[in-house]
Structure 1
Amino acid sequence: MVRLDRIGKRYGRGPWVLRDVSLSVEPGEAVVVTGGNGSGKSTLLRIAAGLSRPSVGAVSRPRSVGWLPERFPSGVRLSARDYLRHQAAVRGVPARWDLVEALGFVGDPDAPMATLSKGNTQKIALVQALTARDLLVLDEPWSGLDVAAASTLRSFLASTPASVLVTDHHGHDLPGARVLPLGAAATGVVIELARVGELLPEVSALEGVLSAAAVGTGARVEVAAAHSDRVLAAVLELGCSVRSVRS
């Protein structure tokens, strides 16, 4: 699983890009991060993947992490096949050309990556990330994909045992996924709980819960404002105690 505990990010003395964000994603669970331009979605994913450090807060992540940037680097000289072989060897896993075929790759697999179309490049970039065992961090993974490939990706993400954290501008449906809104859409209520322990998955699954992260034996839970009373009643019924509630 990946856990972000009250992270914040700013560059130098500039404004905060992210502030007081907590999130945990369990194995087999998917979270879709939404928000407008400048809301910090890509920054959050880079921190989760280990490519950037938060200015404040703590992050824990598993060993095997797959990262898909919003824009794949241009000028890669390796062929698509050799690139996937290299990435798989680094992770110590088999290369998954079957996934490439399932996504509908069309073209010469032995041609340099730099010569591929945007759609085919995205498919190769996706597959190198999807071979990770524990955590998939995908920034706009549907970008450049045709309808069939998008459907294949959705099915894969819905069934993988890895934790999944994605951003999406276009409203693709990911069955069973939680949504974490950032920026103006993230308004809600923060509930600090005690005596949570093993009840965290049940708390996370309550309707209206945007994110839930363990803090010691308690938890910090962000709830959509419209659901706050219902969630408070539910966590008390589960046996948790409420330390504080703030908007």
Structure 2
Amino acid sequence: MRPDLCLENAGRRYGLRGPWVLRGVDLTVAPGRLVRVEGANGTGKSTLLRLLAGIDAPSEGRITGRPRTAYVPERFPPALPFTAVGYLTHLGTVHGLSRTAAARAAGEWLERLGAAAYADTPMARLSKGSSQKVAVAQALLAEPELLVLDEAWTGLDTDARAELERAVAERTAAGGSVVFVDHDPRRLAGLPDTTYAVRDGSLVPCDVAGPLPSGPHVTVEAQGPPDGRLPDDVRRTAASAEETGPGRYRLTVPAPHSDLLLRALLTSRPPWHVVRVAPRPDAPGSSR
């Protein structure tokens, strides 16, 4: 497993004598973790994400444990001399995929995000929403170990926003880590392992205890070996997990992530038996 990504007393300013945007930041991002970053506009959230993504280097302090990283910036440059699929295929090869594998992954992500019809459209002619779908797709092509999302949901339609949420769940369930900023407080509400706020150039942890997010949920009852431990990827995907008997659990998961949870149960070794799946439109209190 890859090591933790660590920021140690990290600071960033622009110019030799410019004001400090961030200073004294200590942050550890472990594999499989979902981390939310909050803060008012102009507080340094995007600067922090650029440090995590390796786009900027710290002006002081250090960063260790650099994983394979993909980044969706707040503003994506659409006027590039490629078609959508050509750009994604090119980026896939940069990430180390063969051209064939890159083209296949490009097509799959354009399909998932609802942009397959624009595969052969020049980037400069894409709408803002379609361009943002390409921005998201390029970050997911090569299954990054760290995914950094800076307002990545902005401009996406409802289906694409849900698909990006599923992709986040897939990355963390596979042992990757995700750090994100989003202006909507309901985005992935109740799911982050840790939430931080950027205030006055410093990073402070937030108390995120509380109820599950509102919206449709699914309840899954599953049976494993009597002495079996709930698989880690199942535990990471579920919003709550209640042991109701030896090796038997009642799991609650946001509806967009239910297919990922079921796949994790059925493909675990040994596989778990799914006893019951039922919609649960209310948001019960969390037992995580």
Residue in 2 that maps onto 1:25: 29
CA distance in 1, matches of 2:134, 2:65: 24
Residue in 2 that maps onto 1:173: 188
Q: Is the 1:28–1:159 contact (alpha carbons within 8 Å) kept by the matching residues of 2?
A: no
Number of equivalences: 189
CA distance in 1, matches of 2:198, 2:152: 18
Query: Aligned match of 2:108 in 85, 94, 98?
Result: 98
How far has the Cα of 1:107 moved from its partner?
3.5
How far has the Cα of 1:170 moved from its partner?
1.6
Structure number with the bigger relative contact order (C-alpha 8 A, sep ≥ 6) is 1
How far has the Cα of 1:177 moved from its partner?
3.8
Q: Is the 2:151–2:183 contact (alpha carbons within 8 Å) kept by the matching residues of 1?
A: yes
Alignment of 1:64-213 (within 5 A): 64-93=68-97, 94-95=101-102, 96=105, 97-105=107-115, 107-132=117-142, 133-160=144-171, 161=174, 162-171=176-185, 172-173=187-188, 175-183=191-199
CA distance in 2, matches of 1:14, 1:139: 24
CA distance in 2, matches of 1:140, 1:61: 25
CA distance in 1, matches of 2:37, 2:83: 32
The runs of 5 or more residues in structure 1 that have no matched partner are: 190-247
| Structure 1 stretches of at least 4 aligned residues deviating more than 6 Å after TM superposition | none
Alpha-carbon displacement from aligned partner over 1:27-81 (angstroms, at most 9, x marks no partner): 2211111101111011111111111111111112435211111101131110001
Alpha-carbon displacement from aligned partner over 1:199-226 (angstroms, at most 9, x marks no partner): xxxxxxxxxxxxxxxxxxxxxxxxxxxx
Q: 1:14 to 1:122 in 2, by over 3 A?
A: same
CA distance in 2, matches of 1:154, 1:105: 17
The runs of 5 or more residues in structure 2 that have no matched partner are: 207-288
Residue in 1 that maps onto 2:63: 59
How far has the Cα of 1:164 moved from its partner?
0.9
CA distance in 1, matches of 2:188, 2:52: 22
Residue aligned with 1:101, SS: helix
CA distance in 1, matches of 2:11, 2:78: 30
CA RMSD of aligned residues (A): 2.0
CA distance in 2, matches of 1:158, 1:188: 22
Alpha-carbon displacement from aligned partner over 1:101-120 (angstroms, at most 9, x marks no partner): 11111643111111111111
